[in-house]
Chains A and B, each alone.
Chain A
Amino acid sequence: AQKVTQAQTEISVVEKEDVTLDCVYETRDTTYYLFWYKQPPSGELVFLIRRNSFDEQNEISGRYSWNFQKSTSSFNFTITASQVVDSAVYFCALSGNQAGTALIFGKGTTLSVSS
């Protein structure tokens, strides 16, 4: 069975601090995809990144970076120099490679950035 675990329920930081959101996944598929979504208070899930299981290169996009390690089944997300606008719930998600496959979400990490 597929599973995503986000052990950090809530994180509070002060602006300009760096913060890492952890994501651990379980799957028996050899081909799979990992995602991060951001959910601000408005409720809409905003896509941030997608990674396939064959691409372990880390990625940086502005203040955001992602570290994918198959050896530890982890796909962690780091925000550098956090800002108040980063306050949101962040979800890590996993999907397989079959027809009708669904996104399996973790329970999310609520990030609060104060000024």
Chain B
Amino acid sequence: ETGVTQSPTHLIKTRGQQVTLRCSSQSGHNTVSWYQQALGQGPQFIFQYYREEENGRGNFPPRFSGLQFPNYSSELNVNALELDDSALYLCASSFMVYTDTQYFGPGTRLTVL
């Protein structure tokens, strides 16, 4: 069974640029959730995708957007990067939409200069 994978591992961007992060869900899972974890903090929910549609969203601005593909993989796009976007971005997959256990990938460390 393949676990959740994310790419790239690390990324450095400058303020104002755009970035795309990728996530492959665990085999058999159809739901993907994205979280942002600032240094020294707990992860914060960005949004969740189920059957290629956004199924819930946290308190993040519209410049954070996402996609889910038919194979349940997902992308997180962030436009107009700001310094505060520097964080670890975690992707989690689960089998069911409701409160199923979420299994996390290794994360993408984004640094915005």
Across the interface, do B58 and A102 meet the contact criterion of CB distance under 8 Å? yes
Choose the segment among B15-23, B65-73, B75-83, B98-106 that binds chain A (4+ C-beta atoms closer than 8 Å): B98-106
Contact of A100 among B40, B43, B56, B109 (CB under 8 A): B56
**Residues in chain A near residue B104, CB distance under 8 A:** 37, 44-47
Convert B24-67 into 0s and 1s, putting 1 for each residue whose CB lies closer than 8 angstroms to a CB of A: 00000000010100001111110010100001111000000000
Residues of A in contact, count (CB < 8 Å): 27
Task: Say whether chain A's binding surface is mostly helix, strand, loop, or mixed.
Answer: loop
Across the interface, do B42 and A98 meet the contact criterion of CB distance under 8 Å? no
Residue A33 lies at the interface, judged by CB distance under 8 Å to chain B: yes
- Complex Cα distance, B42 from A35, in Å, reads 13
Across the interface, do B99 and A96 meet the contact criterion of CB distance under 8 Å? yes
- Complex Cα distance, B50 from A22, in Å, reads 33
Across the interface, do A102 and B56 meet the contact criterion of CB distance under 8 Å? yes
> Which residue of chain A lies nearest to B42 when distances are taken between CB atoms in the complex?
A105
Between A42, A96, A100, A101, the greatest number of chain B beta carbons within 10 A of the residue's beta carbon is seen for A100
Residue A16 lies at the interface, judged by CB distance under 8 Å to chain B: no
> Which residue of chain B lies nearest to A45 when distances are taken between CB atoms in the complex?
B104
Contact status of A43 and B58, CB under 8 A, knowing A50-B101, A101-B98, A105-B43: no
Question: Could you list some 9 contacts between A and B, CB below 8 A?
Answer: A37-B104, A43-B106, A43-B109, A47-B104, A97-B98, A99-B56, A99-B97, A101-B99, A106-B42
